[in-house]
A = this chain, B = another copy of it.
Amino acid sequence: MIYVQEVVTRDGFQNEGHFVPTNKKIELINKLSKVGLNKIEVTSFVSPKAVPNLRDAEEVMDGINRNPNITYSALVPNLIGARRAVECEVDEINLLVSASNTHNLKNVNYTTEQTFEKFNEIIDYLSNKKISINGSLGTSFGCPFEGQIPAEHILNLIEKYFELGVFNITLADTTGMAIPNQVYNLCTKIINEFPTINITLHFHNTRGMGLANVLEGIRAGINRFDSSLGGLGGCPFAPGATGNICTEDLVHMLYFMGYKMTVNLDKLVNVAKYLQEIIPWELDGQVIKSGKITDLHPR
């Protein structure tokens, strides 16, 4: 069973060149809630000044119709964000720290160490609430400033999350630097060392290796993947390059490889086509252009 976790309205819209209207976000999430996805990262409770595209976090969280089979998650950078997310009764709070110290400093002006210290107060605050916590590690497969991140460092940071009682962890390839055999090797190490932790892989397709990396993750034993409808979600360091791995292309591949998923490919592709209607430029997703491999032409 492969779990497909949608991030388009957070990671996708966050990086868009324009603000997607709140009602369009809600409409999109409501459609996504009907296709069998396992998780939807709805938004980020971040400062509206820092990420103006997601300034409507409360309105979106409060406006959607929730499907009880889906975990509705939100990214939270600090205690203020956590309070806002709790107000909106999110199912899961997603914490984020960059494995790369340099990247973390550029991103939130704290060292990786300092960010972990700040997680303490968030986790204390959440301790008596029925909200899951996911811990994300940005730049897990490489940093655009520091380059390679040693596997040992990633294992240490997972240990830190583990000590905080966070057992769901996302390895995020923030700027699309993961290489297939690196994915296999790192995931194998982590699974051996932390067999009880649930790992999610979050890939970007910045250098075209996204789906190849997914397959190496699966070979290593990972079965949770973040992806973004239409492949939305750019990277400020690679203008014009593709964004997150594309949900419908991912599901298309895994479906025809025979993997079991709860997501319905046809319904998902239809929502991707709807997304193309509300986004003013051509999406990177391929299957919405090419059709499924079973969509045959008349002889």
Contact = CB atoms under 8 A, between A and B. Distances in A.
Contact of A145 (B246, B291, B296): B296
A116 to B, nearest CB: 21
A289 B238 contact: yes
Given A249-B208, A253-B209, A180 B215 contact: yes
A264 interface: no
A17 interface: no
Q: Give this chain's copy count.
A: 2
Contact of A297 (B209, B237, B291, B294): B237
A181 interface: yes
Say what secondary structure dominates the interface of chain A: loop
Interface residues of A, number: 49
B240 A289 contact: yes
A299 to B, nearest CB: 5
Given A238-B291, A240-B289, A293-B142, A256 B179 contact: yes
Contacts of A242: 286
A205 B286 CA distance: 8
A241 B291 CA distance: 10
A163 interface: no
A265 to B, nearest CB: 12
Interface in A183-240: 205-209, 211-212, 214-216, 235, 237-240
A212 B257 CA distance: 12
6 contacts: A179-B256, A208-B286, A237-B297, A239-B289, A240-B289, A241-B290
Interface of A: 102, 142, 144-147, 176-177, 179-181, 205-209, 211-212, 214-216, 235, 237-242, 246, 249, 252-253, 256-258, 282, 285-287, 289-294, 296-299
The 8 nearest A-B residue pairs measured at CB:
A238-B290, A208-B249, A241-B290, A241-B289, A208-B286, A212-B212, A240-B289, A177-B293
